[in-house]
Amino acid sequence: MTTTAHTEEKILFTQGNIACAEGALYAGCNFFGGYPITPSTEVAEHMAEELPRRNGAFIQMEDEIASLGAVIGAALAGAKAMTATSGPGFSLMQELIGYACIAEVPCVIVNVMRGGPSTGLPTSPAQSDLLQAKWGTHGDHPTIALVPSSVEEMFTETVRAFNLSEYFRTPVIVLGDEIIGHMREKFRVPRSGEIEVIDRKVPDGDGICRLPYRADGKHPACLPNFGTSRFHVTGLNHDESGFPTMDPSIVQDSNARILDKVYHQRELIDKVDMRYCEDAEILFVSVGSAARAAEEVVEEYRRKGVKAGLFRPITLWPFPKKEFIPCAERAKTIVVPEMNLGQLRTVVERFARSEKILPVNLVSGEPLDPDFIVATIEKSKR
Protein backbone atom coordinates (compact mmCIF):
# COMPACT_ATOMS: atom_id res chain seq x y z
CA MET A 1 0.00 0.00 0.00
CA THR A 2 1.48 3.30 -1.04
CA THR A 3 -0.03 6.72 -1.09
CA THR A 4 0.39 9.31 -3.74
CA ALA A 5 1.76 12.19 -1.76
CA HIS A 6 2.23 14.58 -4.65
CA THR A 7 0.89 17.84 -3.43
CA GLU A 8 0.56 20.96 -5.49
CA GLU A 9 0.91 24.27 -3.76
CA LYS A 10 -2.53 25.52 -2.79
CA ILE A 11 -4.15 28.14 -0.62
CA LEU A 12 -6.78 26.84 1.76
CA PHE A 13 -9.24 28.63 3.98
CA THR A 14 -10.17 25.87 6.33
CA GLN A 15 -10.42 24.66 9.90
CA GLY A 16 -7.57 23.26 11.97
CA ASN A 17 -8.89 19.72 11.93
CA ILE A 18 -8.87 19.67 8.13
CA ALA A 19 -5.40 21.21 8.11
CA CYS A 20 -4.29 18.43 10.44
CA ALA A 21 -5.65 15.75 8.09
CA GLU A 22 -4.01 17.51 5.12
CA GLY A 23 -0.73 17.59 7.02
CA ALA A 24 -0.99 13.85 7.66
CA LEU A 25 -1.59 13.19 3.97
CA TYR A 26 1.34 15.44 3.07
CA ALA A 27 3.52 13.36 5.38
CA GLY A 28 2.43 10.19 3.59
CA CYS A 29 -0.07 8.89 6.14
CA ASN A 30 -1.73 5.88 4.55
CA PHE A 31 -3.65 4.40 7.46
CA PHE A 32 -6.20 6.01 9.74
CA GLY A 33 -8.14 4.20 12.46
CA GLY A 34 -10.45 6.25 14.63
CA TYR A 35 -13.64 6.64 16.57
CA PRO A 36 -15.82 9.76 16.33
CA ILE A 37 -15.58 12.30 19.13
CA THR A 38 -16.16 16.02 19.26
CA PRO A 39 -14.19 18.20 18.66
CA SER A 40 -11.85 15.99 16.62
CA THR A 41 -14.25 14.21 14.27
CA GLU A 42 -13.49 16.30 11.18
CA VAL A 43 -10.00 14.80 11.09
CA ALA A 44 -11.50 11.31 10.70
CA GLU A 45 -14.12 12.52 8.23
CA HIS A 46 -11.52 14.12 6.00
CA MET A 47 -9.35 11.01 6.11
CA ALA A 48 -12.39 8.86 5.26
CA GLU A 49 -12.94 11.05 2.21
CA GLU A 50 -9.34 11.19 1.05
CA LEU A 51 -7.54 7.97 1.99
CA PRO A 52 -9.46 5.57 -0.28
CA ARG A 53 -8.83 7.97 -3.16
CA ARG A 54 -5.09 7.69 -2.52
CA ASN A 55 -4.88 3.95 -2.04
CA GLY A 56 -4.69 4.38 1.72
CA ALA A 57 -6.83 2.67 4.34
CA PHE A 58 -9.45 4.24 6.59
CA ILE A 59 -11.37 2.34 9.22
CA GLN A 60 -13.74 3.45 11.92
CA MET A 61 -13.09 1.05 14.78
CA GLU A 62 -15.45 0.08 17.61
CA ASP A 63 -13.73 2.30 20.18
CA GLU A 64 -10.56 4.29 20.75
CA ILE A 65 -8.62 1.37 22.19
CA ALA A 66 -9.31 -0.58 19.03
CA SER A 67 -8.43 2.48 16.95
CA LEU A 68 -4.96 2.76 18.39
CA GLY A 69 -4.55 -1.03 18.28
CA ALA A 70 -5.32 -1.02 14.56
CA VAL A 71 -2.98 1.91 14.04
CA ILE A 72 -0.10 0.11 15.76
CA GLY A 73 -0.80 -3.10 13.82
CA ALA A 74 -0.85 -1.17 10.54
CA ALA A 75 2.36 0.65 11.44
CA LEU A 76 4.12 -2.67 12.08
CA ALA A 77 2.92 -3.85 8.68
CA GLY A 78 4.68 -0.80 7.21
CA ALA A 79 2.01 1.89 7.13
CA LYS A 80 2.35 5.48 8.30
CA ALA A 81 -0.58 5.45 10.64
CA MET A 82 -2.58 7.94 12.68
CA THR A 83 -5.60 8.28 14.90
CA ALA A 84 -7.42 11.36 16.17
CA THR A 85 -9.53 11.77 19.29
CA SER A 86 -10.41 14.02 22.19
CA GLY A 87 -10.25 13.80 26.01
CA PRO A 88 -12.34 10.69 26.84
CA GLY A 89 -10.98 8.81 23.83
CA PHE A 90 -7.45 9.87 24.71
CA SER A 91 -7.97 8.43 28.20
CA LEU A 92 -8.98 5.11 26.62
CA MET A 93 -5.85 5.05 24.46
CA GLN A 94 -3.38 5.32 27.31
CA GLU A 95 -2.49 1.65 27.70
CA LEU A 96 -1.65 1.27 24.03
CA ILE A 97 0.37 4.49 23.94
CA GLY A 98 2.69 2.73 26.38
CA TYR A 99 2.66 -0.32 24.12
CA ALA A 100 3.82 1.76 21.17
CA CYS A 101 6.56 3.27 23.37
CA ILE A 102 8.03 -0.04 24.54
CA ALA A 103 7.53 -1.86 21.24
CA GLU A 104 8.96 1.22 19.45
CA VAL A 105 6.19 1.56 16.90
CA PRO A 106 5.90 4.87 15.06
CA CYS A 107 2.41 6.38 15.05
CA VAL A 108 0.69 9.74 15.46
CA ILE A 109 -2.08 10.44 17.96
CA VAL A 110 -3.99 13.68 17.59
CA ASN A 111 -5.91 14.87 20.64
CA VAL A 112 -8.14 17.86 19.96
CA MET A 113 -8.61 18.78 23.60
CA ARG A 114 -11.90 19.57 25.26
CA GLY A 115 -13.00 20.06 28.87
CA GLY A 116 -12.97 17.34 31.49
CA PRO A 117 -12.91 15.31 33.61
CA SER A 118 -15.27 12.76 32.11
CA THR A 119 -17.64 14.01 29.43
CA GLY A 120 -17.10 17.58 30.64
CA LEU A 121 -18.04 20.09 27.98
CA PRO A 122 -17.79 18.17 24.72
CA THR A 123 -18.12 21.17 22.42
CA SER A 124 -16.12 23.72 24.39
CA PRO A 125 -12.43 24.46 24.34
CA ALA A 126 -9.98 23.49 27.06
CA GLN A 127 -6.36 22.47 27.42
CA SER A 128 -7.16 19.66 29.76
CA ASP A 129 -4.69 17.00 28.69
CA LEU A 130 -1.29 18.69 28.76
CA LEU A 131 -0.22 16.44 31.61
CA GLN A 132 -2.11 13.35 30.53
CA ALA A 133 -0.14 13.52 27.30
CA LYS A 134 3.02 13.22 29.37
CA TRP A 135 1.98 10.96 32.22
CA GLY A 136 -1.17 9.20 31.04
CA THR A 137 0.23 5.78 30.37
CA HIS A 138 1.83 3.75 33.15
CA GLY A 139 5.54 3.21 33.44
CA ASP A 140 8.49 5.35 32.45
CA HIS A 141 8.25 6.20 28.80
CA PRO A 142 9.35 8.89 26.40
CA THR A 143 6.80 11.53 25.43
CA ILE A 144 6.85 13.79 22.43
CA ALA A 145 3.88 16.15 22.28
CA LEU A 146 3.44 19.09 19.92
CA VAL A 147 1.00 21.95 20.47
CA PRO A 148 -0.06 23.96 17.41
CA SER A 149 -1.65 27.35 17.89
CA SER A 150 -2.93 28.13 14.42
CA VAL A 151 -4.57 26.35 11.52
CA GLU A 152 -1.32 26.45 9.60
CA GLU A 153 0.51 24.90 12.54
CA MET A 154 -2.07 22.11 12.68
CA PHE A 155 -0.72 21.26 9.23
CA THR A 156 2.99 21.77 9.84
CA GLU A 157 3.05 20.20 13.29
CA THR A 158 1.22 17.12 12.04
CA VAL A 159 3.89 16.71 9.36
CA ARG A 160 6.53 17.16 12.05
CA ALA A 161 4.74 14.65 14.29
CA PHE A 162 5.03 12.02 11.57
CA ASN A 163 8.68 12.88 10.99
CA LEU A 164 9.55 12.62 14.66
CA SER A 165 7.59 9.40 15.15
CA GLU A 166 9.22 7.76 12.15
CA TYR A 167 12.69 8.91 13.12
CA PHE A 168 12.48 8.04 16.80
CA ARG A 169 10.15 5.07 16.41
CA THR A 170 7.85 6.26 19.13
CA PRO A 171 4.28 7.58 19.29
CA VAL A 172 4.00 11.34 18.87
CA ILE A 173 1.05 13.28 20.21
CA VAL A 174 -0.41 16.40 18.63
CA LEU A 175 -2.39 18.44 21.16
CA GLY A 176 -4.90 20.61 19.37
CA ASP A 177 -7.84 22.18 21.12
CA GLU A 178 -11.41 22.94 20.16
CA ILE A 179 -10.56 26.50 19.10
CA ILE A 180 -7.63 25.59 16.87
CA GLY A 181 -9.49 22.53 15.57
CA HIS A 182 -12.64 24.36 14.50
CA MET A 183 -11.38 27.85 13.74
CA ARG A 184 -10.91 28.71 10.05
CA GLU A 185 -7.83 30.48 8.78
CA LYS A 186 -6.09 30.93 5.49
CA PHE A 187 -2.84 29.10 4.91
CA ARG A 188 -0.65 27.89 2.11
CA VAL A 189 -0.23 24.16 1.62
CA PRO A 190 3.35 23.72 0.47
CA ARG A 191 4.35 21.75 -2.62
CA SER A 192 5.67 18.20 -2.15
CA GLY A 193 9.27 18.41 -1.13
CA GLU A 194 9.07 21.87 0.40
CA ILE A 195 8.80 20.38 3.88
CA GLU A 196 11.05 17.39 4.42
CA VAL A 197 9.22 14.10 4.97
CA ILE A 198 11.11 11.47 6.97
CA ASP A 199 10.42 7.76 6.64
CA ARG A 200 11.47 5.16 9.19
CA LYS A 201 14.79 3.45 8.68
CA VAL A 202 14.54 -0.24 7.95
CA PRO A 203 17.49 -2.65 7.94
CA ASP A 204 19.69 -2.47 4.84
CA GLY A 205 20.68 -5.24 2.54
CA ASP A 206 18.35 -8.21 2.20
CA GLY A 207 16.33 -6.79 5.07
CA ILE A 208 16.87 -9.84 7.27
CA CYS A 209 17.29 -8.66 10.79
CA ARG A 210 17.76 -10.95 13.77
CA LEU A 211 18.17 -8.20 16.34
CA PRO A 212 15.47 -5.67 15.50
CA TYR A 213 15.82 -3.95 18.89
CA ARG A 214 19.56 -3.50 18.70
CA ALA A 215 20.23 0.21 18.90
CA ASP A 216 23.66 1.72 19.03
CA GLY A 217 24.04 4.41 21.64
CA LYS A 218 21.43 7.06 21.31
CA HIS A 219 20.03 5.88 18.01
CA PRO A 220 16.57 4.38 17.79
CA ALA A 221 16.15 0.67 17.05
CA CYS A 222 15.71 -0.23 13.40
CA LEU A 223 12.88 -2.75 13.06
CA PRO A 224 11.95 -4.19 9.69
CA ASN A 225 8.31 -4.06 8.66
CA PHE A 226 6.41 -7.34 8.95
CA GLY A 227 7.05 -9.61 6.00
CA THR A 228 10.78 -10.06 6.42
CA SER A 229 12.86 -11.46 9.27
CA ARG A 230 9.95 -13.09 11.13
CA PHE A 231 10.70 -11.27 14.35
CA HIS A 232 8.68 -10.93 17.53
CA VAL A 233 7.02 -7.82 18.90
CA THR A 234 5.81 -7.68 22.49
CA GLY A 235 4.79 -5.24 25.19
CA LEU A 236 6.80 -7.28 27.68
CA ASN A 237 10.29 -6.08 28.42
CA HIS A 238 12.44 -7.65 25.74
CA ASP A 239 16.04 -7.99 24.66
CA GLU A 240 17.58 -6.92 21.36
CA SER A 241 16.04 -9.90 19.61
CA GLY A 242 12.58 -8.68 20.65
CA PHE A 243 11.84 -11.69 22.89
CA PRO A 244 10.74 -11.31 26.52
CA THR A 245 13.42 -11.20 29.16
CA MET A 246 13.59 -10.66 32.91
CA ASP A 247 17.35 -10.25 32.93
CA PRO A 248 17.72 -7.30 35.32
CA SER A 249 20.52 -5.56 33.46
CA ILE A 250 18.81 -5.86 30.08
CA VAL A 251 15.53 -4.62 31.53
CA GLN A 252 17.27 -1.72 33.23
CA ASP A 253 19.13 -0.73 30.08
CA SER A 254 16.27 -1.10 27.64
CA ASN A 255 13.90 0.88 29.83
CA ALA A 256 16.47 3.64 29.96
CA ARG A 257 17.24 3.43 26.25
CA ILE A 258 13.73 4.20 25.05
CA LEU A 259 13.87 7.41 27.09
CA ASP A 260 17.43 8.26 26.15
CA LYS A 261 16.87 7.91 22.42
CA VAL A 262 14.41 10.79 22.70
CA TYR A 263 15.89 12.90 25.48
CA HIS A 264 19.47 12.72 24.21
CA GLN A 265 18.54 14.23 20.88
CA ARG A 266 16.56 17.20 22.06
CA GLU A 267 18.01 19.37 19.31
CA LEU A 268 15.92 17.39 16.81
CA ILE A 269 12.75 17.89 18.81
CA ASP A 270 12.82 21.26 20.58
CA LYS A 271 10.75 23.99 18.98
CA VAL A 272 9.75 27.23 20.68
CA ASP A 273 8.22 30.43 19.48
CA MET A 274 9.97 33.20 21.48
CA ARG A 275 8.84 36.80 21.14
CA TYR A 276 10.82 39.57 22.85
CA CYS A 277 12.20 37.08 25.35
CA GLU A 278 15.72 38.63 25.34
CA ASP A 279 14.75 41.47 27.68
CA ALA A 280 11.33 40.42 28.91
CA GLU A 281 10.62 41.34 32.51
CA ILE A 282 7.09 40.04 32.35
CA LEU A 283 7.24 36.71 30.58
CA PHE A 284 4.14 34.92 29.31
CA VAL A 285 4.37 31.16 29.01
CA SER A 286 1.49 29.70 27.10
CA VAL A 287 0.61 27.13 24.44
CA GLY A 288 -2.05 26.47 21.82
CA SER A 289 -5.03 28.77 21.54
CA ALA A 290 -4.32 30.37 24.93
CA ALA A 291 -0.99 31.56 23.54
CA ARG A 292 -2.83 33.59 20.90
CA ALA A 293 -4.45 35.62 23.66
CA ALA A 294 -1.12 35.90 25.48
CA GLU A 295 0.53 37.13 22.30
CA GLU A 296 -2.01 39.91 21.96
CA VAL A 297 -1.37 41.01 25.53
CA VAL A 298 2.38 41.00 24.92
CA GLU A 299 2.01 43.19 21.83
CA GLU A 300 -0.26 45.56 23.70
CA TYR A 301 2.21 45.81 26.62
CA ARG A 302 5.13 46.42 24.26
CA ARG A 303 3.19 49.25 22.59
CA LYS A 304 2.84 50.76 26.06
CA GLY A 305 6.56 50.30 26.73
CA VAL A 306 6.22 47.38 29.11
CA LYS A 307 8.98 44.80 28.61
CA ALA A 308 6.75 41.80 27.97
CA GLY A 309 7.69 38.61 26.15
CA LEU A 310 6.10 35.37 25.04
CA PHE A 311 7.59 31.92 25.47
CA ARG A 312 5.44 29.48 23.51
CA PRO A 313 6.65 25.86 23.44
CA ILE A 314 5.49 24.31 20.17
CA THR A 315 7.15 21.14 21.38
CA LEU A 316 5.63 20.91 24.84
CA TRP A 317 7.11 17.50 25.69
CA PRO A 318 9.97 17.19 26.18
CA PHE A 319 9.71 20.69 27.68
CA PRO A 320 12.28 23.00 26.07
CA LYS A 321 14.06 23.75 29.33
CA LYS A 322 17.34 24.80 27.75
CA GLU A 323 15.61 27.68 26.01
CA PHE A 324 13.33 28.39 28.95
CA ILE A 325 15.74 28.62 31.87
CA PRO A 326 17.55 31.85 30.81
CA CYS A 327 14.25 33.57 29.98
CA ALA A 328 12.78 32.50 33.31
CA GLU A 329 15.84 33.78 35.18
CA ARG A 330 15.66 37.20 33.52
CA ALA A 331 11.94 37.68 34.07
CA LYS A 332 10.56 39.36 37.18
CA THR A 333 7.09 37.96 36.65
CA ILE A 334 6.04 34.84 34.77
CA VAL A 335 2.42 34.76 33.69
CA VAL A 336 1.03 31.37 32.72
CA PRO A 337 -2.31 31.65 30.91
CA GLU A 338 -3.90 28.28 30.22
CA MET A 339 -7.33 26.72 29.84
CA ASN A 340 -7.02 24.34 32.76
CA LEU A 341 -6.28 24.69 36.46
CA GLY A 342 -2.50 24.89 36.31
CA GLN A 343 -1.03 22.07 34.25
CA LEU A 344 1.59 24.10 32.40
CA ARG A 345 2.30 25.92 35.65
CA THR A 346 3.55 22.67 37.23
CA VAL A 347 6.32 22.63 34.63
CA VAL A 348 7.15 26.32 34.95
CA GLU A 349 7.44 25.84 38.71
CA ARG A 350 10.30 23.41 38.18
CA PHE A 351 12.41 26.16 36.67
CA ALA A 352 11.26 29.34 38.40
CA ARG A 353 10.55 30.44 41.94
CA SER A 354 6.85 30.21 42.64
CA GLU A 355 6.64 33.83 43.96
CA LYS A 356 7.40 34.96 40.41
CA ILE A 357 4.61 32.97 38.87
CA LEU A 358 1.15 34.33 38.16
CA PRO A 359 -1.28 31.66 37.00
CA VAL A 360 -4.18 32.60 34.73
CA ASN A 361 -6.63 29.73 34.62
CA LEU A 362 -9.89 29.45 32.78
CA VAL A 363 -11.98 26.26 32.84
CA SER A 364 -15.41 27.76 32.15
CA GLY A 365 -15.62 26.42 28.63
CA GLU A 366 -15.10 29.92 27.23
CA PRO A 367 -12.10 30.87 25.15
CA LEU A 368 -9.34 32.50 27.13
CA ASP A 369 -9.18 36.08 25.86
CA PRO A 370 -6.65 38.93 26.31
CA ASP A 371 -8.99 40.91 28.60
CA PHE A 372 -9.18 38.01 31.02
CA ILE A 373 -5.41 37.82 31.17
CA VAL A 374 -5.03 41.58 31.73
CA ALA A 375 -7.79 41.57 34.35
CA THR A 376 -6.08 38.73 36.22
CA ILE A 377 -2.77 40.59 36.15
CA GLU A 378 -4.41 43.80 37.39
CA LYS A 379 -6.18 41.96 40.16
CA SER A 380 -2.89 40.45 41.33
CA LYS A 381 -1.45 43.93 41.79
CA ARG A 382 -4.15 44.94 44.21
Partner 1 sequence: MFDYSAYLRNEKLPHIWCPGCGHGIILKSLIRAIAKTGWDKDDIVLVSGIGCASRLPGYVDCNTLHTAHGRALAFATGVKLAKPKFHVIVVSGDGDALAIGGNHFIHACRRNIDISLIIFNNGIYGMTGGQYSPTTPQGDKAATAPHGHIEPDFDVAALAKGAGATFVARGTSYHVPQLDDYIYQAFMHKGFSVVEVVEACYTTHGRKQKTKYKSNLDMMKWQKDRAVPLAKSREMKPEELAGKFVTGILHEVERPEYADRYAGLVTSLKGGDK
Q: Which residues bind partner 1 (CB under 8 A)?
A: 1, 30-31, 33, 52-53, 55, 57, 59, 61-63, 65-79, 81, 95-96, 99, 226-228, 230-236, 243-244
Is 65 within 8 Å of 71 (Cβ atoms)?
no
Cα–Cα dist 124/247, whole Å: 48
Buried-exposed string 24-59: b where 16+ CB fall within 10 A, e elsewhere: bbbbbbbbbbbbebbbbbbbbbbbeebbeebebbbb
Residue nearer to partner 1 on the CB measure, 232 or 350: 232
Least separation in angstroms between CB 44 and partner 1: 15
Residue nearer to partner 1 on the CB measure, 247 or 366: 247
Residue nearer to partner 1 on the CB measure, 26 or 31: 31
Cα–Cα dist 281/207, whole Å: 56
Least separation in angstroms between CB 370 and partner 1: 42
Residue nearer to partner 1 on the CB measure, 95 or 260: 95
Give the chain's end-to-end CA distance (angstroms, integer).
Answer: 63
H or E segment and range at residue 33:
strand 31-34
Least separation in angstroms between CB 138 and partner 1: 12
Residue nearer to partner 1 on the CB measure, 2 or 380: 2
Cα–Cα dist 318/306, whole Å: 31
Least separation in angstroms between CB 27 and partner 1: 16
Strand-pair category, 171-177 with 357-361: unpaired
Cα–Cα dist 23/39, whole Å: 18
Least separation in angstroms between CB 168 and partner 1: 20
Task: Provide the 10 A C-beta neighbour count for residue 263.
Answer: 14
Strands (E), 238-370: 272-275, 282-285, 308-313, 315-317, 333-338, 357-361
Residue nearer to partner 1 on the CB measure, 43 or 373: 43
Least separation in angstroms between CB 315 and partner 1: 27
Residue nearer to partner 1 on the CB measure, 193 or 207: 207
Least separation in angstroms between CB 64 and partner 1: 10
Residue nearer to partner 1 on the CB measure, 196 or 206: 206
Which amino acid makes up residue 221?
A
Least separation in angstroms between CB 207 and partner 1: 10
Residue nearer to partner 1 on the CB measure, 226 or 263: 226
Edge-to-edge strands, sheet with 308-313: 272-275, 308-313, 282-285, 333-338, 357-361
| 286 HSE (CA, 13 A, CB side) | 34
Least separation in angstroms between CB 21 and partner 1: 16
Is 181 within 8 Å of 15 (Cβ atoms)?
yes
Strands (E), 130-216: 144-146, 171-177, 184-189
